[in-house]
Structure 1
Amino acid sequence: MKTFLKKVRTKISKSGSMDQLSLIGILNPIIKGWANYHRSIVAKSRFDKVDHEIWLKLWSWAKRRHPKKGSRWPLRKYFTTKKLRSYRFSVNDKSKKAIVERSLIKSSDISIIRHIKIRGEANVFSKQYDEYFEVRRSAKLMNSKTGIKTVLSLLKKRLLW
């Protein structure tokens, strides 16, 4: 967690004059990748701590960019409130035809998927556990994007034949 936070902090620190949309574009894949890697550990409190540390660094980044403004001004400019979540680091993206709101993802929003241990008596080579391993394999497929894409492509091929 320390190395991840150090990486995020250096990215934010080195983005002195970068616009908010670019900073969100840099940070989102880093946060999402780290959270997806650690999602099976079931550490929701750690995810909340990481989100808080990132928020503190973004708050100092916003205040540093506008030293002559009051403390509420950067809050209104860089952070928005949507639904029940306040102080989201977000910006309206006007580069396309429609205005789209881009916001920084929170690692605590990544769903936690627990790792399910294999039964001790289950053996891959035994015929009596074929159904057990088939259920495990299909559940694993349906919990990943690549697995869902694979299933959809197989269904399309089957429907086209």
Structure 2
Amino acid sequence: KTLITHISEGFDFLGFNVRKYNGTLIIKPSKKSQKRFTVKLHEIILAKGKALSQQELIGKLNPIIQGWGNYYSHVVSKEVFCRCDQVLINQIKRWAYRKHTDKSREWIRNKYFIRDGNRSWIFGLEYVCGGIKDKFILRKLADIPIRRHVKVKCEANPFDPSWDTYFERRKRKYAWQRA
């Protein structure tokens, strides 16, 4: 299982591709991981989900999308997220078109997709519960924020009281990343 390779060729490890591009080290989701993810979505949508309702399909897909996105949210993955979102929306469209072969594409769009601000083709439904209008939509990977790790100073010691102010400032400054 040992592979010796030059860093400019890169290597895959734990679903990440580690490689130097023009002298800059970039870590991003590996091609195998992306393929596994899209195949898993395909199985859920088109193999197992043919008879599912829209709400059930969204309920099955959202945890998978959120989990995969969170795993890769700390590396360079925004372009990968956009590509996977495009594959996902095409699979959803195919699911909807196969479910209603005798209906027009405009009818399918009005039934299964909603508009939200500038975005159209959002797979979801609007409902009213207790007089409050709400939406149940499919998550997008591109909406998951990319959060970078911030290094701790090498001389900082959390057990030394003289560094307490540094750690308090750091905790306040990067609290938004943990939310």
AA in 2 matched with 1:67: T
Higher percent of residues as helix: 1
* Alignment match, 2:12: none
CA deviation vs aligned residue, 1:70-119 (integer Å, no higher than 9, x gap): 3333222211212100110011235x434532111111112222111122
* Alignment match, 1:36: 70
Superposed, 1:120-139 pairs within 5 Å as: 120-139=154-173
Work out which of the residue numbers 9, 15, 18 in structure 1 matches 2:52. 18
Normalization by structure 1: what TM-score?
0.76
Give the CA deviation at 1:24: 1.1
Q: Does the 8 A contact of 1:8 with 1:54 survive in 2?
A: yes
Cα distance change, pair 142–72 in 1 and its aligned pair in 2 (3 A): closer
AA in 2 matched with 1:8: L
Normalization by structure 2: what TM-score?
0.69
Q: 3-state DSSP class of the match of 2:154?
A: coil
What is the count of residue pairs matched by the alignment? 144
Give the CA deviation at 1:3: 2.0
* Alignment match, 1:151: none
Q: 3-state DSSP class of the match of 2:74?
A: helix
Distance in 1 between residues matched to 2:42 and 2:103, nearest whole Å: 23
Give the CA deviation at 1:37: 2.2
Distance in 2 between residues matched to 1:8 and 1:131, nearest whole Å: 46
Give the CA deviation at 1:141: 5.1
Farther-moved stretch of structure 1 (51-60 vs 123-132): 123-132
* Alignment match, 1:144: 178
* Alignment match, 2:29: none
Higher relative contact order, structure no. (Cα contacts within 8 Å, ≥ 6 residues apart): 1
CA deviation vs aligned residue, 1:5-60 (integer Å, no higher than 9, x gap): 22222111211111111111111122112222221114211111111111010010
Indicate whether 1:2 and 2:29 are aligned: no
Gaps of 5+ in 1: 146-161
* Alignment match, 2:143: 109
Higher percent of residues as strand: 2
Q: 3-state DSSP class of the match of 1:80?
A: strand
Gaps of 5+ in 2: 1-33
